[in-house]
Structure 1
Amino acid sequence: MASQSQGIQQLQQAEKWASEVSEAHKQKSRRLKQAKEAQAEIEQYCLQREKEFKAKEAAALGFHGSCNSEVEKETQEKMAILQTYFRQNRGRSPE
């Protein structure tokens, strides 16, 4: 009878331990889910802030931004002309 009682106690302890482990797994799963949701919110917030920054940057640059593109365009045109001259004069010998 004593061994039966001891066996029942061991079984109860094992069931208690199993339920604690199960609850720990559930809590871990909930925390992981919360972490993934938080990460998604952080990424969305970062994208929103980056977009706002770009808009403010463009507004602050204003005229300077268009000057930059004009200078870039002129540079590309001059480079194209120089490359054309180079191709034309590549075969000539120096005088």
Structure 2
Amino acid sequence: MASQSQGIQELLQAEKVSEALKRKKWRLKQAKEEAQAEIQNRDEVLDNLLAFVCDIRPEIHENYRING
């Protein structure tokens, strides 16, 4: 009887370890997806910023007045 109880305890412990590993694997997957999304977002922001900065259009400001 004692060996059955010990076997059950070992199975329960193994199940707990298995569940913990599943949670850890899921958390790592989520973190990887979030990091990938941040990298993609950063690249888009940098592309937009560079396009805005490099888009030079010589224009006279609307408030500029020629005195004369």
TM-score (normalised: structure 2): 0.77
Work out which of the residue numbers 14, 22, 25 in structure 2 matches 1:26: 22
Higher RCO structure, 1 or 2 (CA under 8 Å, sep 6+): 1
Pairwise CA RMSD: 1.5
How many residue pairs match? The answer is: 58
Q: Which runs of 5+ in 1 are unaligned?
A: 65-95
Matched with 2:5 is 9
Which residues in structure 2 correspond to 1:1-95 (within 5 Å)? 5-59=1-55, 62=56
- 1:52 deviates by 0.9
- 1:41 deviates by 0.3
- 1:63 deviates by 5.5
Q: Which runs of 5+ in 2 are unaligned?
A: 59-68
The structure 1 segments of at least 4 consecutive aligned residues displaced by more than 4 Å after TM superposition are: none
TM-score (normalised: structure 1): 0.56
The percent identity for this pair of structures is 31
